[in-house]
Amino acid sequence: MINALRRNYPGPGGMFVLSFICHLVVFLVIAYWHILPQFHEDETPVTYVDMVTLPVASPQSGTPAPSQQESKAPAAPAPAPPAPAAPAMALPTKPAAKAPTAKAKAEQQKEAAEAKAFNERMAKMEQQAEDRRQAAALDALKKKGSSRTGMPGGKGTQAGSDYSSYLQSRLKDALKETMAMQAKAPQVMATITVSPDGYIDYHVEKPSGDPLFDDAVRRAVTLAGKTLVPPPNGAYFKRVFRFRPEGVGIK
Amino acid sequence: MGMLASTGLVVKLVLMLLLYFSVVSWGIIFYKLLQVYRANGASERFLEFFWKAKRFDAISSQLDRFEHSPLTVLFQEGYGELKRLQEKVEEKADPNIVSTDLGGVDNIARALRRATTSEITRLEKYLTFLATTGATAPFVGLFGTVWGIMTAFEQIGKSGSASLAVVAPGIAEALIATAIGLVAAIPAVMGYNHFQHKIKVLISEMDSFSTEFLNIVQRNFGR
Amino acid sequence: MRTFFLLFFLLLAPRLFAAEGYIDVTAPVSGKLKLFIAPPAVLSGQAPAETAKELPELFGFDLAIAGPFDISADATSPLILKSSVGVQGETATIECRLVDQVLNREVAAKRYTGRVKDLRRMGHAFSDEVLRALTGQKGPFTGKIAYVSKVSGNKEIYIMDYDGHNAQRLSNNGSINLYPDFAPSGKEVIYTSYKKGNPDLYRRELFTGLEARVSYRNGLNAMGVFSPDGNRIALVLSKDGNSEIYVISRDGKELSRLTKNHAIDVSPAWSPDGSKIAFVSDRLGKPQIFVMNSDGSNARRLTTSGSYNVTPRWSPKGDRIVYARKEGAFQIYAINPDGTQDTQLTSAGSNEHPRFSPDGRFIVFSSTRDGGEGLYLMRADGSAQTRISPNKGQNTHPTWSVNW
């Protein structure tokens, strides 16, 4: 008798589906518009701090990177034109960095004369071993990093993405050290190339017009290039980077 | 969304749980919204119809039009009981004796009360889940946060660097659990209070309808 | 339920929405370039102990107030300023180098020789040079500041280094001397003096001390300012009854009248290209700043807020005008010449007589914030407000010369 009075009301199941769809929409909106605060989008800083302190990060012997950098320095003339002011007088620019380079060169020549062939072979072997060690360490680190960040290995097209975010974090740290500006919103676009032996080179695509900031970027790249792990798999790395002060100059 | 991706397993589970809470409680909110507003609308129309109609059997035949109103259940129960009483009276086949009608009104009142209780139960169904979500989701979120901060500090200790840039992201990631806990809890609490109020109104409507129904029965059938 | 979890994980996959193209490298705006000032070495002969302390302090003051540098005690800073001093009798030699330790090059290197008492000037000259090498624009630190001070009891014209050292009295006549202004060459000063009874305009050569009475018309001959080419002087005359603005040649002849009405018009200020003059007028009831062409045509009101705005000065680039607004006390404001971006720069005490440095980096002004009127310096955006003169003796009306 009582059952006859019961009616067939719809259950809440349909509404659960509706609610789920709503959540999905909200989630997509948040994800798409980056509403959540972001911290260095793709990297966990902890991971890369590890990377920097790795022993392999030290510049390897036999790579042309340091000597090239050093030999470049004296070529850049110190801009000290004689001022027309009466009490002022330009000093002869001292080739400060020349001495150690010359010494190194002399040493190299001596060594070469003594046991050139042997040294070469040794250096080659050492470098090969070093390369292998480095690649292995980098791979291990990448695995560690990716498991920690929860990335499922990344897509095939993003093979260099770990390295670019590594380089980004290094450049960021360096720019923090060298930051200086005069203009309101300076911005420098530069193509940065890292050769397989870890030598960094850069080409300014678009200068900021503020000499202070242009120099800051130049210093940052040099600073970051001093202790750089070479790109993985012996490949050249090339990307465009945009340098700018935080929070300003976003058109 | 790198922020969510780098959180630990426990935090992730907590987030899952909170998401489940949120989805279900929003489902219940939608469901209850529909139910309560349908019930209100149908009750209004039913009462209007009830006061216009002259005869109970006419009302009874039209009940399908107001199926969402709890009052129709009350009416159906009460009318059913009344009919049964009348059948009994006719069985006795003594039109002059009308002494049993007092007990008959009691019967109807009981039937009405029973129907009221069952309708209240139906209306309040699932509401407890909202209350539970409102009360526990912030704590679950807090748990996730505490756990996240614990692991963050552990990792900081491992890396050996304590600069803000290293510490802050981990803590921010952990705090997201609390945020989502609150996001889940706030609508649940609001929904729960809202529906409690609405259902209270419906209950008092049912009570007054029961009283009216009994009055009519007593006026017309029990001399 | 399982599909829903799967979906959730799928959405969490990072980089799904990451932007491609270039990679952003950012650093906080507050970041400053660290600069280490090495203690001076001895060049030859003997270097007095006080110069060993004075020189780094001087560089530190100059470069800290310049803005982009953080004077650091860390010898591994990107920039390092090395100096060595040698003193032989009355002759001092300093040798300064700014070395970029990151790019491994010398940014600037100079040797200065001069009298021992000019040591500070040599130091400032190198600070100027550092700014030129790093920013492409020379610093203003060897410029002088002329101002009015009552430290002797009367209002006299003084001149000092930009950082407040080496204050010297310029006028010495026991009457009232006001409104100094440097010629664009920095080698002449015009000012108004009551020394012959009437407020007349005088022009004085700094090196020779020669003086000429340029304008001595009836009534006020005040607030003279050189035009940017140095050939004309805009000033306020009251010979026709009330104060109006006139332009005269540098020798006081060839008069032309720019304003003509019943209101008071004072405080002319040339735009850097010489085409416009800003001035103060109460023609609308309250003192407000107006801008007109330098032939007196097309006067229009510049300041629209505040009820008492005075002493406009144009920035050397021509993009800003500073002035003082009275709101109880005076405060310094800056505004674009088209009337937009009216910005308050000071807030402590009463601040008056703002004036740009010749390179436009700084504003010098007088303030009562520490009790008594003293001269202060700030960057053009209002930061780094620093006192440069003692706040005794009512120091007002500063004006900053070009380097000489």
How many CB atoms neighbour CB B146 within 10 A? 13
Give yes or no: residues C174 and C294 share one domain.
yes
Q: Are the C-beta atoms of residues C231 and C211 closer than 8 Å to each other?
A: no
CA R_g for chain C: 26
Which of A186-195, B178-187, C41-50 has the highest mean predicted lDDT (pLDDT)? B178-187
| Residue C27 lies inside a defined structural domain of this protein | no
Q: Are C236 and C252 in contact (CB under 8 A)?
A: no
- List, as one string, the DSSP characters of B163-191: -HHHHHHHHHHHHHHHHHHHHHHHHHHHH
| Residue carrying structure tokens 């809440």 | A12
Shared domain for C102 and C162, answered yes or no, is: no
- Within this chain, do residues C185 and C127 fall inside the same structural domain, yes or no? no
Residue pair B120/B35 in contact by the 8 Å Cβ criterion: no
Q: What is the pLDDT at residue A135?
A: 66
Selected for mutation to probe chain C from A98, A172, A179 (highest C CB count within 10 Å) is A179
If asked whether residues C98 and C168 sit together in one domain, one would say no
Q: Are residues C62 and C150 in the same domain?
A: no
* 3-class DSSP assignment, residue A72: helix
> What average pLDDT score do residues C328-341 get?
89
Give SS3 for C294.
coil
Q: What is the pLDDT of residue B191?
A: 93
Among C23, C105, C113, whose Cβ lies nearest the Cβ of A241? C23
Cα C142 to Cα C133: distance, rounded to the nearest angstrom: 16
Is the pLDDT confidence value at A234 over 70? yes
By DSSP bridging, strand C41-45 and strand C79-88 are parallel
Residue C162: domain span: 144-403
Q: Which helix (H) or strand (E) holds C183?
A: none
CA distance C371 to C378: 18
Tell me the pLDDT tens digit for each residue of A97-139.
444 455 556 666 655 556 556 666 666 676 777 677 666 666 6
In a domain, C238, yes or no: yes
* Higher per-residue pLDDT: C171 or A56: C171
Same domain membership, residue C158 and residue C74: no
pLDDT of residue A110: 59
Nearest to B199 by CA among B78, B27, B21, B43: B43
| Cβ–Cβ < 8 Å for C83, C120 | no
Lowest mean pLDDT among A154-168, C47-61, C97-111, C362-376: A154-168
C-alpha to C-alpha distances, C55 to C40, C67, C134, C140, nearest whole angstrom? 8, 19, 20, 17
pLDDT mean over C198-222:
88
Q: Report whether C201 contacts C182 (CB < 8 A).
A: no
Contacts with A87 from chain C: Cβ below 8 Å: 112-114, 118, 121-122, 125
pLDDT at position A57: 31
User: What is the side-by-side strand order in the sheet with C343-344?
Assistant: C309-314, C321-327, C329-335, C343-344
Residues A244-250 have a mean pLDDT of: 65
Write down the ipTM of this complex: 0.74
C169 lies in the same domain as C284 = yes
Domain-embedded: residue C22? no
Residue C323 belongs to some domain of the structure: yes
> In chain B, whose CA is at the least distance from the CA of A9?
B68
Sign of the alpha-carbon torsion through B56, B62, B66, B72: positive
Does some domain include residue C385? yes
Q: Is residue C248 domain-resident?
A: yes
Q: Do C199 and C248 belong together in one domain?
A: yes
- Picking from B180, B197, B190, B193, the residue whose alpha carbon sits closest to that of residue B23 is B180
Mean pLDDT, residues C102-126:
86
DSSP-assigned beta bridge partners for residue C114: C92
Determine the Cα–Cα distance for residues A157 and B163; give it in Å rounded to an integer. Answer: 33
Note whether B73 and B115 are within 8 A (CB). yes
**Residue B201 CB: number of other CB atoms within 10 A?**
12
User: In terms of domains, do C197 and C309 share one?
Assistant: yes
CB contact under 8 A, B5 and C17: no
pLDDT along chain B (223 residues), means of 10: 61 90 92 89 88 82 83 87 79 55 74 89 89 93 90 74 66 85 93 92 90 84 60
* Closest CA in chain B for residue A23: B23
Q: If DSSP codes are grouped into helix, strand and coil, which group holds residue C160?
A: strand
- Does some domain include residue C26? no
CA distances from C233 to B72, C204, C212, C256 (A): 100, 14, 14, 11
Q: What's residue A68's pLDDT? A: 39
Q: How far apart are CA C292 and CA C270, in angstroms?
A: 10
Per-residue model confidence as pLDDT tens digits over C239-249: 888 888 999 98
Q: Which of B1, B16, B18, B173 to mutate to test the interface with C (most CBs of C within 10 A)?
A: B1
SS in 3 state form for A186-220?
A: CCEEEEEEECCCCCEEEEEEECCCCHHHHHHHHHH
* Residue B106 host element (H or E): helix B101-124
Do C217 and C262 reside in the same domain of the chain? yes
Count of structural domains, chain C: 2
Using 50, 70 and 90 to split pLDDT, how confident is the model at C13?
Answer: very low
CATH of the domain at C323: 2.120.10.30
Q: Which of C117, C135, C153 is the last residue of a domain?
A: C135
Tell whether C128 and C169 lie within a shared domain.
no
Size of interface A-C (CB pairs under 8 A): 169
Q: What percent of chain C has pLDDT over 70?
A: 93
Quick one: pLDDT band at residue C24, thresholds 50, 70, 90?
confident
At C296, the pLDDT band (50, 70, 90 cuts) reads: confident
Final residue of a structural domain among C100, C135, C170: C135
Distance, C-alpha B163 to centroid of its chain: 51
Do C391 and C72 form a contact (C-beta atoms < 8 A)?
no
Asked if C267 contacts C275 with a C-beta cutoff of 8 angstroms, the reply is: no
Are the C-beta atoms of residues C202 and C170 closer than 8 Å to each other?
no
Q: How far is CA A225 from CA A53, A201, B73, in A?
A: 15, 8, 81
Mark yes or no for CB contact B1/C5 under 8 Å: no
Taking the C-alpha atoms of residue A186 and residue C31, their distance in angstroms, rounded to an integer, is 14
Residue A92 DSSP one-character state: P
Chains adjacent to B (≥3 CB pairs closer than 8 angstroms): A, C
The answer to whether C262 and C250 have CB atoms below 8 angstroms apart is no
- How confident is residue A61, by pLDDT bands cut at 50, 70 and 90? very low
Neighbours of A128 (CB within 10 A): 10
Token reading at B48: 């209007």
Residue B185 has what pLDDT? Answer: 94
How many Cβ atoms are within 10 Å of C139's Cβ, its own excluded?
A: 27
Write the pLDDT tens digit of every residue in A132-188: 766 666 665 554 444 333 333 333 333 456 777 888 888 888 888 778 887 777 888
> For residue C349, is it within any domain?
yes
Among A17-31, B54-68, B188-202, C204-218, the range scoring the smallest mean pLDDT is B54-68
Q: Where does a domain end: C79, C109, C135?
A: C135
Nearest to A229 by CA among A192, A193, A191, A196: A196
A240: nearest CA in chain C? Answer: C22
